[in-house]
Structure 1
Amino acid sequence: MRVARFYAPGDLRLEDVPEPSPQPNEIKLRVRNCSTCGTDVKIFNHGHQHLSPPRVMGHEIAGEIAEVGAEVDGWSVGDRVQVIAAVPCGDCQDCRRGRMTICPHQTSVGYQYDGGFAEYLIVPHAVLKVDGLNPIPNGVSFAEASVAEPLACVLNGQELAGVGSGDDVVVIGAGPIGCLHVRLARARGARRVILADLNATRLEKSAALVRPDETVCGADGDIVEAILKLTDGRGADVVITAAASGAAQEDALRMTARRGRISLFGGLPKTAPTITLDSNLVHYRELTVVGANGSSPAHNKRALELIASGAVPVADLITHRMPLDNVLDAISTVAAGDAIKVTIEP
């Protein structure tokens, strides 16, 4: 079978390897779609501390079961399934308290286990143990199901930030994650959703798809002033920084209304992980600042339900489909910002 295996930064090789065979407590999956994201670009360029090369990359995975281990119950050959990416241990204190997104023993598909840039993959016992293999609802395509993983992360972030009915929500960053945030905020009852970005072309392209109530281009002036003007000086109830930008995080503090919530959704580069936080703004405005780290198996299930119900449509966000042999082109396309979602179809 064909795989794309990461060896070192800049060294992702297309290789022909034998098909894997599952252990009795594992499942073999035929990959139908594995979508790409900015994390794949980061791994390709810089590697990752938790990724053990050589490793088959890809973590936004949907496919059909090709073989079921003898000790695995409840699944059959031909079942259409989606696979979680972040794999909690299920046993630690955080997992037992329902806080699986912060499991200190978390492993990940595409990092410690071979991922979805392959014709087949093994769903490890660790995934099955935490109920991390999910049936794809009828009417949902493999490509759409592969987007459930990033949507699950977005869902976790909005739950932590308490996005709800009547909120004015600002999403900073018009990439694929920002687009999902816009659609989910609307599905959760936001009164108004404002999408902001520094790149006018990307903002225009994304806004044409997800149709936020307002857009703000940072290249045209001070984004904080623009948000305050749109909210009659009050500020936004929720600001989500869906971009790896310290400046965006600092701006978020200044544009949030009293008792508002700020989601630092996009992580910062390790070379520049700190910002200047005006703690008096947090203190006097009684602001809440939350992080967001991936998703739990339960978030993945709910993400599939949101897609299936039409509450959060994702099909039109998949702007590019490529075969596995074009995986390097896919990563370049994501890096250039020329797509919303690029999906690989092995």
Structure 2
Amino acid sequence: MKVARFHAPGDIRIEDAPEPVAGAGEIKIRVRNCSTCGTDAKIQKHGHHHIRPPRVMGHEIAGEIVAIGDGVSGWSEGDRVQVIAAIPCGTCEECRRGRMTVCPNQESMGYHYDGGFAEYMVVPAKVLAVNGLNRIPDGVGYAEASVAEPLACVLNGQELARVGEGDDVVIIGSGPIGCLHVRLARARGAARVFLVDLNAERLAMAANLVNPDESIRGDELDVVDEVLKLTGGRGPDVVITAAASGVAQQQAIQMAARQGRVSFFGGLPKDAPIIQCDSNLVHYRELTIVGANGSSPQHNAQALRLIAEGSVPVSDLITHRLPLDQVLDGIGIVTRGEAIKVTVEP
């Protein structure tokens, strides 16, 4: 079979590999869709400290079961399934307290285990142990199901930021995550949603799809001033930084309304993780700043339900569909901001 393997930064190869075999406690699937994300672009450029090459990449995975290992019950060949990306251990203190997104023993598909940029892959026993394999609801395609993983991350972020009825929400970053944040905020009852980006072309493409109440070009306008104008000087109830930008995080604190919530959804580069924070704004406005780290297995299941119900449409966000041998082209498209969502169809 064909796979896309990471060997070193700048060295991802399309290679032949033997088909994997499902061992005890495992399930083998035929990958139907594995979508790409900005993390894949970071791995291509810089690698990742959790990846020991060679490693098959890809973590937004949907496919069908083709073989079931010994000791596995409740599944059948032909079942359509979606696979979680982040794998909590399920047994540590954080997991026992229901905080699976911050499990200190977390592993990941495409990092610790071979991922979905392959024709076939094995779902590890650890995934099954935490209910991390989900049936795809009827009426939901494989490509849509693969987007359940990033939507699960967005869901975790908005739960932590308490996005709710009547909120004004600003989302900084108009990539696939930003678009999913717009749609989920609306589904959670937000009154108005504003979308911000420096990349004018991508912002226009995203705005055409998700129709924010306002789209704000950060390359032309002072973002903080513009948001304050749009909110009558009050500021937004929630600001979500769906971009790896320290400037965006600083702007979020500056613009947030009294008792506003700021979500640092996008992590910063390892060599520039420090921002300037006006602590008095946090103090006197009673701001809440929260992080967001991936998703839990339960978030993935809930994301699939939201897609199936039509609460958060995702099919139109998939702007590019590519075969496996063009995965590098797909990562390049993501890196250049020329797409919303790119999916690979092995």
The normalised TM-score by structure 2 is 1.00
The runs of 5 or more residues in structure 2 that have no matched partner are: none
Aligned mates of 1:219, 1:24 — CA distance in 2: 54
Secondary structure at the counterpart of residue 95 of structure 1: helix
Are 2:111 and 1:111 equivalent residues in the alignment?
A: yes
Aligned mates of 1:216, 1:96 — CA distance in 2: 42
Aligned mates of 1:345, 1:120 — CA distance in 2: 11
Aligned residue number for residue 15 of structure 2: 15
Aligned mates of 2:221, 2:320 — CA distance in 1: 32
RMSD: 0.5
Aligned mates of 2:330, 2:197 — CA distance in 1: 23
Aligned residue number for residue 222 of structure 2: 222
Aligned residue number for residue 137 of structure 1: 137
Deviations 1:219-267 (A, max 9, x none): 1221000000000000000000000000000000111000000000000
Aligned residue number for residue 87 of structure 2: 87
Aligned residue number for residue 244 of structure 1: 244
Aligned mates of 1:185, 1:327 — CA distance in 2: 31
Deviations 1:122-142 (A, max 9, x none): 000000000000000000000
Secondary structure at the counterpart of residue 74 of structure 1: coil
Are 2:307 and 1:307 equivalent residues in the alignment?
A: yes
Aligned residue number for residue 37 of structure 2: 37
Query: Could you tell me how far 1:201 is from its partner in structure 2?
Result: 1.2
Query: Could you tell me how far 1:269 is from its partner in structure 2?
Result: 0.2
Aligned residue number for residue 159 of structure 2: 159
Matched AA of 2:225: E
Aligned residue number for residue 319 of structure 2: 319
Secondary structure at the counterpart of residue 177 of structure 1: helix
Aligned mates of 2:10, 2:256 — CA distance in 1: 40
Aligned residue number for residue 183 of structure 2: 183
Deviations 1:22-48 (A, max 9, x none): 112100010000000000000011000
Aligned residue number for residue 194 of structure 1: 194
Matched AA of 1:239: V
Q: Which moved more, 1:156-165 or 1:214-223?
A: 214-223
Aligned mates of 2:333, 2:216 — CA distance in 1: 24
Deviations 1:256-285 (A, max 9, x none): 000000000000000100000000000000
Aligned mates of 1:203, 1:326 — CA distance in 2: 25
Q: Which moved more, 1:82-91 or 1:216-225?
A: 216-225
The runs of 5 or more residues in structure 1 that have no matched partner are: none
Aligned mates of 2:20, 2:218 — CA distance in 1: 49
Aligned mates of 2:5, 2:199 — CA distance in 1: 32
Query: Could you tell me how far 1:205 is from its partner in structure 2?
Result: 0.7
Aligned mates of 1:17, 1:218 — CA distance in 2: 45
Aligned mates of 1:140, 1:90 — CA distance in 2: 28
Aligned mates of 2:203, 2:57 — CA distance in 1: 29
Matched AA of 1:270: K
